[in-house]
Amino acid sequence: EVAAVWGVADLPHRYGRDTGQIVQAAADGELQALLVAGVEIADLPDPARARAALAEVGFLVSLELRPSEVSEHADVVLPVAAVAEKAGSFLNWEGRVRFFEAALKPDQMTRRLAPGDLRVLQMLADTMDVHLGLPDLRTAHAELDRLGAWRGPRADDPAERAG
């Protein structure tokens, strides 16, 4: 269905690598470059292995709010806005889209706000001559709406899991 909406013949039928597989590929020297956004190494299942894997990546880009263990090893650090500084959306556990506005507006700040993740990824894609066609949140939301509602499995009700 997505392929038809996007006007392409086919899309991959398999998921990409999960975090463990990315760390393994990096450790094995299979990744020439890696983009890491907002990851704390200490939060990963095997921090020592993740540190060693980062050392094997040829070119490391970090999207970050503040200095971190990843940004210390990065070849390039691109600042991104904190959640309070940007508008956006998320899917709740029911699969419903919930929008939020920036809590901090540019006119309330004494410093220039960093760009949001979407803007940074759009700029990187444009630089690589891959044009995503998502210049702003409104366009990104319209594209998600065009794809239609998710009809796959949903997360369990948190109240049911709690027992």
pLDDT of residue 140: 85
pLDDT band at 155 (very low <50, low <70, confident <90, very high): low
Q: Is residue 163 part of a domain?
A: no
Residue 112's H or E segment, with its range, is none
Residue, of 41 and 152, whose pLDDT is higher: 41
Q: Are residues 85 and 32 in the same domain?
A: no
All residues at 6 or more sequence positions from 112 whose CB lies less than 8 Å from its CB, including other chains = 106
Q: Is residue 158 part of a domain?
A: no
pLDDT of residue 14: 87
**What is the C-alpha separation between 78 and 118, in angstroms, rounded?**
12
Residue, of 114 and 20, whose pLDDT is higher: 20
Residue pLDDT, tens place only, 121-147: 999 999 999 888 888 888 988 888 888
In 101-155, which ranges are continuous DSSP H helix?
Answer: 117-127, 137-147
Question: What is the tally of structural domains in the chain?
Answer: 2
- Encode burial over 50-59: b for 16+ CB neighbours within 10 A, e otherwise: bbebbeebee
Q: Is residue 89 part of a domain?
A: yes
pLDDT of residue 158: 67
- Residue whose structure tokens are 């039928």: 13
Q: Which domain holds residue 25?
A: 1-79
Position 163 pLDDT exceeds 70: no
Q: What is this structure's pTM?
A: 0.76
Q: Are residues 10 and 36 in the same domain?
A: yes
- For the record, the structure tokens of 159 come out as 């109240």
Residue pLDDT, tens place only, 52-109: 999 999 999 999 999 999 999 999 999 998 888 888 888 787 777 888 888 877 777 6
**What is the C-alpha separation between 133 and 146, in angstroms, rounded?**
14
Q: Are residues 74 and 8 in the same domain?
A: yes
Q: Is residue 25 part of a domain?
A: yes
